[in-house]
Amino acid sequence: MSGILVVAEHRQGVLRPVSLELVSAVQDVRGALGDKVTVAVIGAGARAHQQTLSMAGVDELVFIDTPDAEFDPEVTEAALAALAAEIRPSLVVVPHSVDSMGYAASLAIRNGYGFATDVFGVAADGAAVVATRGGYGQKVNVELEFPGASTVLLALRGGTWKPPVDAASPAARDFAFSAPASRSKNVEFISPPATNDVDMTAKEFILSVGRGVGEEDNIERFRELADTVGAALGCSRPVADSGWLPKSRQIGQSGKTAAQCKLYMAMGISGAIQHLAGMKHVETIIAVNTDPNASIFSVAKYGVIGDMFEIADELEKHFA
């Protein structure tokens, strides 16, 4: 077994951004697990995504047309089983999504693959895959190995890796398989309700407040500060759990990943491991905390030991 198979995902004719994140996720292990990265697109009109998927880190694109225009878990599973039988990858990655919940587990069981879902770290120990995911209600990070499995299938959490930026010209081909008669029928596609809040995963500058903000009435002050400096206002979990800011603003393991963020300012946030999971990768982190021993300083490029309200005043004066 050698090489890596990445499964792209599209819905209603639009490629889901997680598809490109998966390409980035496997780059660190490609040497250890085999050099070739193949990206498969399954479904009617798969070729439409060729240009978007022609990125650095992709060696080959494989398009698998299906009889039905809509996603079908059984057909997808059969397509992937047939492709995997041909290319014999050591690692298969799929998005951790509502679609993959329909086919990934049964694909793994039927073919004897190692399997893990909601994975947010992929590494190699020699030629063995090591996956990181949450355990015990996301209280700890668990590293999983898959002894005896020559192929491992991982469902990866979106919003975790930065997509590749450089275009490339990977080889492209079609792949035909024998589609099973479908036992399910698509009745209607119902779009999820639109959210009118910001998408924190897409923001380049985030100013987040934690429990140090003290009380709900103080949030407005930091909302104004975020507006003044041109940042999106984020928060730690206690702030969202208290209902002071919407859950969609929460950064961290059970919130959003600051995937596109270049500058992250953490004010009154201690730096618990679950918060760091959503932002520690950001290139420039500025932390403001009254406690010089706060963990947030371990990931910060710039640290201010001080009162977040005083620093907020200074920033307001500076940017006004």
Ligand X SMILES: Cc1cc2nc3c(=O)[nH]c(=O)nc-3n(C[C@H](O)[C@H](O)[C@H](O)COP(=O)(O)OP(=O)(O)OC[C@H]3O[C@@H](n4cnc5c(N)ncnc54)[C@H](O)[C@@H]3O)c2cc1C
Footprint on this chain of ligand X (rule: CB under 6 A): 137-139, 210-212, 236-238, 250-255, 268-270, 272, 274-275, 278, 288-291, 294, 307-309
How far apart are the two ends of the chain, measured CA to CA in Å? Answer: 60
Judged by beta carbon, residue 139 or residue 301, the one nearer ligand X is 139
- Least Å from the CB of residue 299 to ligand X: 13
Minimum distance of ligand X from residue 266's CB (angstroms)? 8
C-beta closer to ligand X: residue 146 or 161 = 161
Cβ-based burial of 6 (10 A; exposed 0-12, middle 13-18, buried ≥19): buried
Q: For the CB of residue 13, give the shortest distance to ligand X in the complex, in Å.
A: 32
User: Shortest approach of ligand X to residue 64 CB, angstroms?
Assistant: 36
Alpha-carbon distance of 134 to 113, in angstroms, equals 20
Closer by beta carbon to ligand X, 96 or else 275:
275
Residue with tokens 């041909």: 86
Nearer to ligand X, 73 or 134 (CB): 134
* Residue with tokens 């020559």, as numbered in its chain: 150
Using only C-alpha atoms, what is the Rg of the chain?
22
Q: Which residue is nearest to ligand X (CB)?
A: 252
233 contacts 251 by C-beta, under 8 angstroms: no
Task: Give the closest residue to 253 by CA, choosing from 158, 134, 96, 170.
Answer: 134
Q: How far is the CB of 97 from ligand X (least distance, A)?
A: 19
Between 30 and 247, whose beta carbon lies closer to ligand X?
Answer: 247
